[in-house]
Amino acid sequence: YGVDAAAVRVLDGARSGVALIVVDEPSGQNRIILSPEANHALRPEHFAAIPGPRPDLLVMQLEIPFDTVMRALEAAREAAIPVLLNPAPAKELPAEAYKDLAHLVVNETEAAILSGCKESDLEDLAGLKRVGGIFLERGVRNVIITLGGRGVYYATHDGKSALVDALKAKVVDTTAAGDTFVGSYALAVVDSTSTFDIDTAIRASNRASALTVSRRGAQVSIPWKTEL
């Protein structure tokens, strides 16, 4: 498929992480049981510096050891590499995690945990603006809060904000919806040749996620770029 896997680290005696996913038939919602295996073998010393070749964007979540996450964020700042952080599974983050963070993508639950608010605070536009402002004050440049069927709210360091409506879709399986959104958004970031248009990126990511939830499965449900 054209993916450069030259920098993938292979650990002798370790197994790849495995996730078992149970999908509720009527709603399409899922529950995930994770065995991290090699994911938890990634250590801070692996990020003494960002391995070459220099990436255009570092995409991270919290399914590797937390001290490794923090060291990778620091290494990216030192190398002036922008970071997209999707802090899942959610936990409170120290102040330095937000410093100069280019993109923060969270769902309602994650936004509530990280900001210290209640999920009910995100039910109206005023609450979304307040919570988005909390992350901007901490140093994030682009805040994206995904709201399921309600759409996506975003706020930027230069004063832009909007609630983008979700696309209607027949929900079969929500597995990989968030992964698809983050992947599509990241692609829009690295594809931007001059000024990054966050609104266009979010609308494209919404389209990709809507297609994902209409299909069964995880990786197999994620659309190819040519399908969009």
Placement of tokens 């040519």 in the chain: 226
Kindly report, residue by residue over 64-86, the tens digit of the pLDDT. Answer: 999 999 999 999 999 999 999 99
Helix (H) or strand (E) holding 144: strand 142-146
Q: Is 199 a catalytic residue?
A: no
- Spell out the alpha helix ranges (H) of 27-138: 66-78, 108-115, 125-137
The residue annotated as part of the active site, out of 12, 179, 197, 199, is 179
pTM given for the model: 0.92
Task: Give the pLDDT band of residue 10 (cuts 50, 70, 90).
Answer: confident
Query: What are the tens digits of pLDDT across the range 145-187?
Result: 999 889 999 999 999 999 999 999 988 988 899 999 999 999 9
Q: Which of 89, 178, 95, 185 is nearest to 134 (CA)?
A: 95
Report whether 185 contacts 82 (CB < 8 A).
no
DSSP 41-69: G--GGGGSSPPSSPPS-EEE-SSS-HHHH
Report DSSP state, residue 194.
Answer: S
Whether residue 200 has pLDDT greater than 90:
yes
Angle, nearest 10°, between helix axes 108-115 and 125-137?
50
Helix (H, G, I), strand (E, B) or coil at 111: helix
Of residues 41 and 145, more confidence is placed in: 145
42-227, CATH topology level: UDP-N-acetylmuramoyl-L-alanine:D-glutamate ligase (3.40.1190)
Buried residues in 80-119 as b, exposed as e (16+ CB within 10 A): ebbbbbbbbebeebeeebbeebbbbbbbbebbbbbbeeee
